[in-house]
C-alpha cells in the first residue's frame, strides 16, 4: 500500500492529486508553476504534500504526470534547429499546407509560419508510388547534397517525410541510413515511424512538430526522472498522453508527439470517470481556466477522439481526445467598442497581471472581476492562498466601463457575465451541431478554476438542467492521470475496397498491427496486467473525401466477413450523417488498432452522510437577474452526502468557487460530487 | 437602436449560433462530396422582408453576406407554417446567381405572424442541361444551364411536394445527390427554425423583432464607421478577363468608386456589354446585389475584422449598373461561370478602394487558376474515374505590412487542395510536381504571394482534362505604389519537350499516356518599390527557391554572391535600375500585355465604345463590340489616336456594313 500521485502542470498552477491506496482518500494541492525552471514545481509540490498530508516520497508507488512543455516549445518557438527532407519537387508541402486560410473573409488572413522555413527544406531524388511500388530508389548523391544544405543552415535535427512512405517506408529508412552514416550527431525522425498515415501535409506537419519539440521534451523528462529519483520516489514516472492514456517517461522521450495535449486529454478522462460515477452518460465537460474554456463531448461515458487537434498554431494528426478550446476564461477582458456596445474577450489578463481583483497590477475588468462585483467572489481566498482577492480593485475596474455604458457597477458586471456566457453558448452551439446532439440531453460537468463559477450561466443559455461539480474541480486533470490506462494507437493505410478479395490482406495487416501493439505494451512498456485490443477502420464510400472511424469486431476480421464490416460502416454513417447508401461500394482507408493495458483505478471513498440540511456559514448579498438576492455561503468540505440546499448559494473550496443561481437546487452525492438541478 | 446594447450583444451571439448551427447541420448531413469538399453553400437568417441579418463565418461560401431574399419571398403570395420554398432560377428574383445554386427559404411563425425567414443554398453538382455539372463557357443561354425551378413551395405545411420534386429529379444527372442535399438543406432550415423559437422564448418576440432590426443597424453603423476613415473622393479602376468567350476579345469590368462621408457609390458604367457566353453576373440591376457586395465586404472586414457580417453592412453602398451589361445582363443570357467574373470584380473593388487607403489595403490578388478535373481510365481495372484533383490558386497581394501569403489567400482563402497522395491513390495519374511557382509573385517592397503549380502525367489513352475558370494567361494581377504585377498563369502540354504546347486559356483538353500537363495560377501583385525591399529578404526568397538569382538582380537590384548579399554591388545595381526606370508616379503597375493593350484601348476609346454600345439594342451589342475590335486590330498603328475617334469611325463602318442594324437606329 502506498500513494498514487497525479500531477498536471498548467500555465499558472501545477495541480496535484494524491490517492491514498489504504484509506481511499483523495488529497489535492495547487502550487504556482515555475515555467522558467520546469520540473521544480513538482519537487515544491511533493515537499508541500509531505508537510500537509505526511506523504513521503518513498511511499509514492505510482506517479503520473501531464505537462505543457511540448506545447510551450511550439508556442514560444523555442524548439530545435530543424530541417526537413521531402521528395524532390514537393518541397513546398509546409508552405502550401491545405491552402485554406483561417479567416476567409479577411484579405490579410495568414497561415502560421512553418516551424521549418522553406530554406531548411531539401528535396531528394526518389519516388514511391501510391501502390507502394518503388519507382526510384533513393539517389544517394541527392541525400548528400541535402546533408550539405543541412550543415550550411546549422541543422541539429531532421525530419524525413517522403511521398507514400505510409505505404512503403523503405526509402525513408534508406535516407535515414545514409544520414546516420554521414552525420551521426543529427537527430532523425521518419514520418513513417511517427504516424504512418496517408496525406502528405498532415503526416509531415505532425512529424515536424514531433521533431521540433523532441529534444526539449526528452531533456525535460530526463531531468524529471532524475529529480524524482533524487528525492526518493521509487515509481517510474508515467506520462499522460493526448489519446487519454499513459506511457512511461522513458518511452515519452522518443514518442513525445503522443503527449503534447496530455493535460487537456487527462482532464477529459477525469471528467468521463466522474460522468460515469454520477450516472451522467452524456456529459459536456466544461474546463475553464484563466484564458480559455475547454469543452469536450462525452457520449455514453466515453470521451470522443479525433485528429487534427491544434498544438499552438499547428494541427497534429495523431489520435487525440477531442477538445474544443474557446478563447474565454476567468481573465477575459471586458471592453466597450466605438459604438458603445459591451464586448468580452478575446484579450485576456492571463495570470500576469491577472484580473484586477488579484491586485497584481491588472486594471482592466475581467470576467472574474464581474463575479467579485456581483458578490459571488471575494469572500475567500483562491488557489490555496496563492492569490488574494481585492474587491475594491475589481469595483474600480468595472467602473471604468460602467460609466461608458451609463450603467451601475453591478448591472455592468452582470452584463459582462451574460455576454461572456452567450459567447460560450455560441461556440458550444457549433460543437453540438457538429455532433448532431441536443444539449438538453446533457449534463454539464464544470471544473477548472473558473468552470464552477460560470456553469449555471452557461447551463441556462444551453437549456441544460443538470450540472455536476466534482469533488476536486480544480485538479481534475491530475486526477484523470491517476485513472488513465496504458494505451497506444497503431495505424496502417491500405486504401482498399471492402470486398471478399481484400479479406486476407486486412487480416494480415491487423496481425502485423497486433504484433507491434503487443510488443509496445509488453516489451517497451513492460506492462504485465490485463490488456484489450480495439480494432477499427477509417472507412468511406468510394468517392467521398473523408472517413469515419468504424469499430470492427475481431471475429469479422478472422473470418474475413467483409459484409459485416460494410454493415458496420453503413450504421456508423447513418449515426453520424443521418443517412447511408447501402448499395454504394465502401473503402477502408486506414486500419487501426488501439491497445489498452488496464491500470488499477482508484476506488474513491464515499463521504460521510447526513440527513440534516447543511448549515450555511453565512448569508450574503449576490446580484443576478437584475436584483440583489441573499445567498447562502457553504464550505465544500462541510457538505455531507445526501444534503440538499437551494440556490442562490456560494460554495467555497480550496481550488474554486461554485456559484449556484436561484432556480437551481444543489445535492451532494455519496462521493461528494455536487449535483445542481434546474427547477423546470 | 431601440434595443439596449447589452441585450443586442447577447442576441447577436444567439443569432450567430443559429446560423452556425444551420451550417454545421447542413455540412454534416449533405450527401454530395462536392458540398463537403468545397463548402459551396450558405445558411442564414433574414428579416420578414428578406434581408440577411445573421450568417455563419466558419463554414460555407463567403459571397452571400448581403443576400436579399425579398424578390423570391414576395413571389409567393401566401405562406403557411411548415412551408419551405425553393428556386434555382437566376432570372426569378435574382437571388439565385447560377442554376446549380438551389436556394430554399422557410418562414418562421410566432402566433400566426412571420417573424423571420431561415434560408440557405447548396451548389448542386449537376442540375441537368447541356453539359455534365451544368456549367460551361460555351453556353450562351440560361436554358442550356439545366432545369430552372421558379420560386415554388417544395414543402407545404410539412409535406414534401412530390410532383415538383419528381420534375426536378427527372431532369438532373445524379438525382439521389440532389435529393440528398435538399434533405440536408431542409434539416438545416428546420434547425434554424427551432433556434429562432428558442430565442423568442428566451428574449420575447418584441425584443427579438427589435433585435434583428438592431443587428442590421449595428452592422451598418460599424460599416459607416469604417467608411468615415476613408478619404472622400472618386477612384476609378478597371480590370479584364483575358477573353469574353473562347478565343474572343478582352472583357472589361470597370468601376468608379465614389466615397462620400460614411457611404459610397459603385458605378459600373464602362463595363462590357453582356456576353454571349456564361460569365454574366445576374443582378437585375439591384442597388445592392449580393454579388456586387462581396468585394465591399472583404474590404470593410479587412479594415476592421470585428465587423459583424450581415446585409446591414451593404447599406453604405449603392450601385449603378447599366442595363444589358456584364454586371446586369438581360434574360436569357447564360450566367453559369459568373464565378470567374465575380472574382475579377472583387479584385476591381479592392483596387478601387486601395487608392483610397494604400497604407491599409493589399495589392492585386492572384487568380486565373482553374478547378482541375480529370476524367481517365484506371489501366488495372478498366474503370473510368472522374475526379476533381485540385483548385489551382495563387497568393494574396503584397500589403503595407508584409508579403502576400503564398499559394492562396485574399479572395481565394476558402479553397482547399487535395493531397498529392490522395490524388495518386484515387486517380490514375502521376504527379510530378506540386508547389509554388518560382518568380511568380509580383516584385515589391512587400512581394506578392506566389502561385501554385501542378504537373502531372496521364497514364491512359483518352484522358480528358477540364480546367474550369481559366484566365490570367494574358493580363496579370496588379501591383501598387511601385510594386510590380504578378506572373501570368500557365497551362502547358509536355513542357520542356520538342512538342511543348502553350494551352493559354483552353479549358478542355484530351491527352494520352505519357503526356504531361503543367498548370499554374497567376501570381499576386507586389506592394511598394522592389528596390526598397530589404536585401536580406530577397536573399531569403532566393534561398527559399521563390525568387531566382536572376530575378533578384533584375527586379530587386540585389546581387547575391557566395550565398550572401553583396552590399556594394547591390547598391550600384539599384542605383543603375533607379536611373533606368525613373518612377512615373503611377499608382498601379500592370504587366506588359495590359500596358500594350491599353496603349490601343485607351480610356478614351473605352468611353466612346461604352457610349456607342449603350445606344444599341442589347442583342446587337456583343456582336458590334467584336466587329469594332476587329476593325481596331486591323488599323495601322499610326492611325490610332486613343481619343475615341477610331472607335467612332469603326462603329460607323459597322453600322454601314449592316443595314439590319442601321434600320434600327
Residues of A in contact with B417 (CB under 8 A): 96, 98-99
How much is the pLDDT for A344?
95
At A614, phi and psi to the nearest 5?
-70, 150
Residue B21 has its nearest CB partner, among A430, A544, A546, at A430
Selected residue with higher pLDDT from B16 and A351? B16
Dump pLDDT digits (tens) for B596-605. Answer: 999 999 999 9
Selected residue with higher pLDDT from A36 and A2? A2
Which residues are within 8 A (CB) of B659 and not within 5 positions of it... i.e. 6 or more apart?
none
The 10 Å CB-count burial string (b at 16+, else e) for B316-340 is bbebbbbebbbbbbbeebbbbbbbb
B contact test, residue of A87, A88, A92 with most B CBs within 10 A: A92
How much is the pLDDT for A383?
45
ipTM: 0.95
Dump pLDDT digits (tens) for B492-514. Answer: 999 999 999 999 999 889 999 99
Interface subset of B 346-365, CB within 8 angstroms of A:
350, 361-362, 365
β partners of residue B159: B156
Has residue A380 got a pLDDT over 70?
no
Residue B29 has its nearest CB partner, among A93, A200, A578, at A578
Interface subset of A 124-143, CB within 8 angstroms of B:
129-130
Cα distance between residue A550 and residue A546, in whole Å: 13
How much is the pLDDT for A601?
84
B contact test, residue of A93, A94, A108, A410 with most B CBs within 10 A: A108
How much is the pLDDT for A384?
46
Has residue A379 got a pLDDT over 70?
no
Is residue A597 classed as helix, strand or coil in its secondary structure? strand
For the domain spanning A1-66, the CATH number is: 3.30.420.40
For the domain spanning A486-597, the CATH number is: 3.30.1490
Confidence of residue B110 (pLDDT cuts 50, 70, 90): very high
Residues of A in contact with B415 (CB under 8 A): 99-100
Across the interface, whether the CB atoms of A105 and B62 are under 8 A apart is answered yes
Tell whether A342 lies on the interface with B, counting CB pairs under 8 A. Answer: yes
Cα distance between residue A17 and residue A28, in whole Å: 5
Q: How far is A210 from chain B (nearest CA, A)?
A: 21
**Which grid cell is A286?**
466544461
Domain ranges of chain A: 1-66, 77-215, 486-597
* C-beta separation of B122 from B130 below 8 A: no
* C-beta separation of A80 from A265 below 8 A: no
Average pLDDT over residues B241-250: 95
Across the interface, whether the CB atoms of A341 and B419 are under 8 A apart is answered no
Cα distance between residue A29 and residue A9, in whole Å: 12
A674 membership: H or E segment, kind and range: strand A674-678
How much is the pLDDT for B236?
98
Q: Determine if the pTM surpasses 0.90.
A: yes
Residues of B in contact with A111 (CB under 8 A): 405
Dump pLDDT digits (tens) for A146-185. Answer: 999 999 999 999 999 999 999 999 999 999 999 999 999 9
β partners of residue B502: B492
The 10 Å CB-count burial string (b at 16+, else e) for B83-107 is bbbbbbbbbbbbbbbbbbbbbbbbb
At A322, phi and psi to the nearest 5?
-75, 120
B contact test, residue of A433, A494, A497, A547 with most B CBs within 10 A: A433
Tell whether A405 lies on the interface with B, counting CB pairs under 8 A. Answer: yes
Interface subset of B 471-490, CB within 8 angstroms of A:
none
A contact test, residue of B203, B308, B420, B542 with most A CBs within 10 A: B420
How much is the pLDDT for A386?
53
Cα distance between residue B19 and residue A412, in whole Å: 28
**Which grid cell is A108?**
490579410
Looking at residue A278, the DSSP 8-state letter turns out to be T
Residue A96 has its nearest CB partner, among B29, B309, B436, at B436
Phi-psi domain of A549 (left: phi exceeds 0; alpha: psi -120 through 50; beta: other):
beta
Across the interface, whether the CB atoms of B434 and A92 are under 8 A apart is answered yes
Burial class (CB in 10 A: 0-12, 13-18, 19+), A560: middle
Cα distance between residue A638 and residue B222, in whole Å: 52
Has residue A216 got a pLDDT over 70?
yes
**Which grid cell is B354?**
486601395
How much is the pLDDT for B661?
94
* C-beta separation of B189 from B22 below 8 A: yes
Tell whether B225 lies on the interface with A, counting CB pairs under 8 A. Answer: yes
Has residue B2 got a pLDDT over 80?
no
* C-beta separation of B219 from B308 below 8 A: yes
- Rg over CA atoms, chain B: 26
Phi-psi domain of A361 (left: phi exceeds 0; alpha: psi -120 through 50; beta: other):
left
Interface subset of B 14-53, CB within 8 angstroms of A:
14, 16-18, 20-21, 23-25, 28-29, 31, 33, 36-37
Has residue B288 got a pLDDT over 80?
yes
Chain-centroid distance of CA A580 in Å reads 32
Confidence of residue A382 (pLDDT cuts 50, 70, 90): very low
Find the distance separating the first CA and the last CA of chain A, reported in whole Å.
47
Residue of A nearest to B401 (CA): A108
Provide the mean pLDDT of chain B.
Answer: 95
A595 membership: H or E segment, kind and range: strand A586-597
Q: Which CATH number fits domain A77-215: 3.10.400, 3.40.1360, 2.60.40, 3.10.450?
A: 3.40.1360
Q: Edge to edge, what strands does the sheet with A649-653 contain?
A: A618-624, A627-635, A649-653, A656-660
Average pLDDT over residues B361-389: 90
Q: How far is A106 from chain B (nearest CA, A)?
A: 5
Dump pLDDT digits (tens) for A268-327. Answer: 999 999 999 999 999 999 999 888 899 999 999 999 998 888 898 999 999 999 999 898
Cα distance between residue A118 and residue A122, in whole Å: 8
Tell whether A107 lies on the interface with B, counting CB pairs under 8 A. Answer: yes
Confidence of residue A105 (pLDDT cuts 50, 70, 90): very high
**DSSP states along B35-47:** HHHH--EEEEEE-
Residue A199 has its nearest CB partner, among B6, B37, B419, at B419
Cα distance between residue A265 and residue A71, in whole Å: 13
Distances (CA, A) of B540 to A111, A115, A120, B127: 19, 16, 11, 49
Average pLDDT over residues B288-299: 97
Interface subset of A 266-305, CB within 8 angstroms of B:
none
Residues of A in contact with B300 (CB under 8 A): none
Average pLDDT over residues B551-578: 96
Cα distance between residue B317 and residue B296, in whole Å: 8
CA atoms within 13 A on the CB side of A609: 5
Amino acid at each position: 500500500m502506498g500513494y498514487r500521485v497525479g500531477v498536471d502542470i498548467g500555465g499558472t498552477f501545477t495541480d496535484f492529486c494524491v490517492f491514498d491506496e489504504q484509506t481511499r482518500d483523495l488529497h489535492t494541492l495547487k502550487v504556482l508553476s515555475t515555467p522558467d525552471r520546469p520540473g521544480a514545481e513538482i519537487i515544491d509540490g511533493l515537499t508541500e504534500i509531505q508537510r500537509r498530508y505526511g506523504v513521503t516520497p518513498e511511499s509514492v508507488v505510482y506517479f503520473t504526470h501531464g505537462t505543457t512543455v511540448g506545447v510551450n516549445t511550439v508556442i514560444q518557438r523555442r524548439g530545435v534547429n530543424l530541417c526537413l527532407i521531402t521528395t524532390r519537387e514537393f518541397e513546398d508541402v509546409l508552405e502550401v499546407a491545405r491552402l485554406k486560410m483561417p479567416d476567409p473573409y479577411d484579405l490579410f488572413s495568414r497561415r502560421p509560419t512553418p516551424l521549418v522555413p522553406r530554406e531548411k527544406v531539401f528535396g531528394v531524388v526518389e519516388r514511391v508510388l501510391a501502390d507502394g511500388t518503388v519507382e526510384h530508389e533513393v539517389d544517394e548523391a541527392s541525400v548528400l547534397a541535402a546533408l550539405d544544405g543541412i550543415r550550411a543552415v546549422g541543422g541539429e535535427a531532421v525530419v524525413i517525410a517522403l511521398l507514400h512512405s505510409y505505404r512503403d517506408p523503405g526509402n525513408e529508412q534508406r535516407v535515414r541510413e545514409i544520414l546516420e552514416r554521414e552525420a551521426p550527431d543529427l537527430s532523425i525522425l521518419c514520418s513513417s515511424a511517427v504516424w504512418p498515415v496517408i496525406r502528405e501535409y498532415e503526416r509531415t506537419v505532425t512529424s515536424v512538430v514531433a521533431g521540433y519539440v523532441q529534444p526539449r521534451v526528452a531533456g525535460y523528462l530526463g531531468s524529471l526522472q532524475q529529480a524524482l529519483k533524487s528525492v526518493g520516489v521509487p515509481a517510474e514516472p508515467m506520462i499522460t498522453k493526448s489519446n487519454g492514456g499513459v506511457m512511461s517517461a522513458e518511452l515519452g522521450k522518443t514518442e513525445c508527439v503522443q503527449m503534447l495535449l496530455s493535460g487537456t486529454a487527462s482532464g477529459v478522462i477525469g471528467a468521463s470517470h466522474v460522468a460515469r460515477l454520477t450516472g451522467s452518460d452524456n456529459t459536456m465537460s466544461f474546463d475553464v481556466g484563466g484564458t480559455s474554456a475547454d469543452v469536450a463531448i462525452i457520449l455514453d461515458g466515453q470521451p470522443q477522439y479525433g485528429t487534427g487537434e491544434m498544438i499552438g498554431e499547428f494541427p497534429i494528426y495523431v489520435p487525440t481526445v477531442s477538445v474544443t478550446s474557446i478563447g474565454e476564461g476567468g481573465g477575459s477582458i471586458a471592453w466597450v467598442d466605438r459604438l458603445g456596445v459591451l464586448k468580452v474577450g478575446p484579450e485576456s489578463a492571463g495570470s500576469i497581471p491577472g484580473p484586477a481583483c488579484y491586485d497584481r497590477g491588472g486594471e482592466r475588468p475581467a470576467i472574474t472581476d464581474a463575479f467579485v462585483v456581483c458578490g459571488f467572489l471575494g469572500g475567500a481566498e483562491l488557489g490555496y492562498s496563492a492569490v488574494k482577492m481585492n474587491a475594491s480593485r475589481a469595483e474600480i475596474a468595472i467602473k471604468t466601463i460602467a460609466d461608458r455604458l451609463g450603467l451601475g457597477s453591478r448591472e455592468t458586471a452582470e452584463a459582462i457575465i451574460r455576454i461572456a456566457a452567450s459567447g460560450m453558448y455560441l461556440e458550444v452551439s457549433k460543437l453540438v451541431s457538429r455532433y448532431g446532439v441536443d444539449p438538453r440531453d446533457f449534463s454539464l460537468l464544470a471544473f477548472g478554476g473558473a468552470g464552477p463559477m460560470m456553469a449555471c450561466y452557461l447551463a441556462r443559455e444551453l437549456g441544460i438542467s443538470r450540472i455536476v461539480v466534482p469533488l476536486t474541480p480544480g485538479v481534475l486533470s491530475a486526477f484523470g492521470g491517476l485513472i488513465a490506462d496504458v494505451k497506444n494507437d497503431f495505424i496502417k493505410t491500405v486504401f482498399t475496397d471492402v470486398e471478399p478479395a481484400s479479406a486476407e490482406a486486412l487480416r494480415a495487416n491487423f496481425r502485423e498491427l497486433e504484433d507491434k501493439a503487443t510488443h509496445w505494451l509488453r516489451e517497451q512498456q513492460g506492462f504485465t496486467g490485463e490488456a484489450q485490443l480495439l480494432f477499427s477502420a477509417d472507412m468511406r464510400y468510394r468517392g467521398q473525401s473523408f472517413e469515419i472511424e468504424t469499430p470492427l469486431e475481431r471475429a469479422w476480421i478472422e473470418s474475413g466477413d467483409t459484409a459485416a464490416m460494410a454493415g458496420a460502416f453503413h450504421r456508423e454513417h447513418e449515426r453520424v450523417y443521418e443517412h447511408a447508401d447501402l448499395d454504394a461500394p465502401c473503402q477502408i482507408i486506414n486500419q487501426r488498432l488501439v491497445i489498452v493495458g488496464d491500470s488499477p483505478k482508484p476506488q474513491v471513498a464515499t463521504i460521510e452522510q447526513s440527513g440534516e440540511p447543511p448549515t450555511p456559514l453565512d448569508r450574503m448579498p449576490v446580484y443576478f437577474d437584475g436584483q440583489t438576492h441573499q445567498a447562502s455561503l457553504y464550505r465544500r468540505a462541510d457538505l455531507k452526502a445526501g444534503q440538499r440546499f437551494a440556490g442562490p448559494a456560494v460554495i467555497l473550496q480550496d481550488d474554486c468557487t461554485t456559484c449556484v443561481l436561484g432556480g437551481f437546487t444543489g445535492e451532494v452525492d455519496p462521493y461528494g460530487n455536487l449535483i445542481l438541478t434546474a427547477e423546470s | 437602436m431601440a434595443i439596449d446594447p447589452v441585450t443586442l450583444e447577447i442576441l447577436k451571439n444567439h443569432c450567430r449560433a443559429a446560423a452556425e448551427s444551420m451550417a454545421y447541420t447542413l455540412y454534416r448531413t449533405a450527401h454530395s462530396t462536392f458540398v463537403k469538399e468545397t463548402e459551396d453553400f450558405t445558411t442564414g437568417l433574414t428579416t420578414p422582408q428578406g434581408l440577411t441579418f445573421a450568417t455563419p463565418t466558419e463554414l460555407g461560401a463567403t459571397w452571400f453576406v448581403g443576400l436579399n431574399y425579398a424578390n423570391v419571398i414576395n413571389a409567393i403570395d401566401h405562406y403557411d407554417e411548415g412551408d419551405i420554398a425553393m428556386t434555382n432560377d437566376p432570372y426569378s428574383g435574382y437571388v439565385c446567381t447560377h442554376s446549380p445554386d438551389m436556394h430554399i427559404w422557410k418562414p418562421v411563425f410566432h402566433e400566426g405572424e412571420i417573424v423571420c425567414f431561415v434560408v440557405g443554398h447548396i451548389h448542386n453538382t449537376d442540375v441537368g442541361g447541356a453539359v455534365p455539372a451544368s456549367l460551361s463557357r460555351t453556353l450562351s443561354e440560361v436554358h442550356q444551364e439545366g432545369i430552372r425551378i421558379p420560386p415554388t413551395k417544395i414543402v407545404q405545411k410539412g409535406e414534401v411536394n412530390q410532383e415538383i420534386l419528381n420534375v426536378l429529379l427527372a431532369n438532373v444527372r445524379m438525382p439521389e445527390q440532389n435529393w440528398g442535399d435538399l434533405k440536408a438543406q431542409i434539416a438545416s432550415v428546420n434547425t434554424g427554425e427551432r433556434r429562432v423559437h428558442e430565442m423568442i422564448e428566451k428574449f420575447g418576440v418584441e425584443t427579438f423583432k427589435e433585435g434583428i432590426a438592431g443587428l442590421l443597424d449595428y452592422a451598418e453603423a460599424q460599416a459607416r464607421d469604417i467608411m468615415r476613415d476613408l478619404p472622400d473622393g472618386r477612384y476609378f479602376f478597371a480590370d479584364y478577363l483575358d477573353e469574353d468567350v473562347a478565343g474572343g476579345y478582352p472583357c472589361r469590368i470597370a468601376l468608379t468608386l465614389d466615397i462620400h462621408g460614411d457611404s459610397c457609390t459603385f458605378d459600373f458604367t464602362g463595363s462590357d456589354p453582356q456576353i454571349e457566353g456564361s460569365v454574366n453576373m445576374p443582378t437585375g440591376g439591384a442597388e445592392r446585389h449580393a454579388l456586387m457586395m462581396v468585394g465591399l465586404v472583404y474590404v470593410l472586414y479587412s479594415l476592421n475584422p470585428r465587423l459583424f457580417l450581415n446585409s446591414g453592412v451593404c447599406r453604405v453602398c449603392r450601385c449603378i449598373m447599366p442595363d444589358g451589361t456584364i454586371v446586369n445582363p438581360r434574360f436569357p443570357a447564360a450566367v453559369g461561370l459568373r464565378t470567374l467574373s465575380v472574382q475579377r470584380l472583387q479584385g476591381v473593388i479592392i483596387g478601387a478602394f486601395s487608392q483610397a487607403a494604400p497604407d491599409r489595403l493589399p495589392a492585386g490578388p492572384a487568380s486565373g487558376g482553374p478547378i482541375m478535373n480529370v476524367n481517365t481510365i484506371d489501366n488495372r481495372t478498366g474503370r473510368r474515374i472522374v475526379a476533381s484533383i485540385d483548385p489551382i490558386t495563387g497568393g494574396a497581394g503584397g500589403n503595407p505590412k508584409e508579403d502576400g501569403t503564398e499559394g492562396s489567400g485574399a479572395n481565394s482563402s476558402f479553397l482547399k487542395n487535395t493531397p498529392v497522395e490522395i490524388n495518386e491513390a484515387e486517380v490514375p495519374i502521376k504527379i510530378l510536381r506540386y508547389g509554388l511557382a518560382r518568380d511568380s509573385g509580383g516584385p515589391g517592397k512587400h512581394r506578392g504571394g506566389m502561385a501554385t503549380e501542378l504537373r502531372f502525367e496521364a497514364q491512359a489513352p483518352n484522358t480528358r482534362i477540364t480546367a474550369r475558370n481559366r484566365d490570367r494567361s494574358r493580363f496579370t494581377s496588379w501591383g501598387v505604389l511601385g510594386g510590380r504585377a504578378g506572373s501570368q498563369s500557365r497551362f502547358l502540354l509536355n513542357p520542356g519537350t520538342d512538342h511543348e504546347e502553350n494551352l493559354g486559356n483552353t479549358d478542355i483538353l484530351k491527352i494520352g499516356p505519357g503526356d504531361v500537363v503543367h498548370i499554374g495560377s497567376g501570381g499576386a501583385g507586389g506592394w511598394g518599390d522592389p528596390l526598397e525591399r530589404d536585401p536580406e529578404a530577397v536573399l531569403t526568397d532566393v534561398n527559399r527557391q521563390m525568387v531566382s538569382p536572376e530575378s533578384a538582380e533584375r527586379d530587386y537590384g540585389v546581387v547575391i554572391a557566395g550565398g550572401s548579399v553583396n552590399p556594394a554591388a547591390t547598391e550600384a545595381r539599384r542605383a543603375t535600375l533607379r536611373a533606368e526606370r525613373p518612377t512615373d508616379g503611377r499608382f498601379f503597375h500592370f504587366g506588359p500585355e495590359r500596358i500594350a493593350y491599353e496603349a490601343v484601348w485607351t480610356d478614351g476609346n473605352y468611353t466612346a465604345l461604352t457610349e456607342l454600345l449603350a445606344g444599341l439594342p442589347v442583342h446587337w451589342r456583343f456582336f458590334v463590340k467584336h466587329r469594332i475590335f476587329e476593325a481596331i486590330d486591323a488599323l495601322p498603328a499610326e492611325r490610332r489616336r486613343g481619343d475615341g475617334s477610331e472607335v467612332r469611325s469603326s462603329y460607323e463602318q459597322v453600322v454601314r456594313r449592316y443595314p439590319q442594324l442601321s434600320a434600327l437606329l
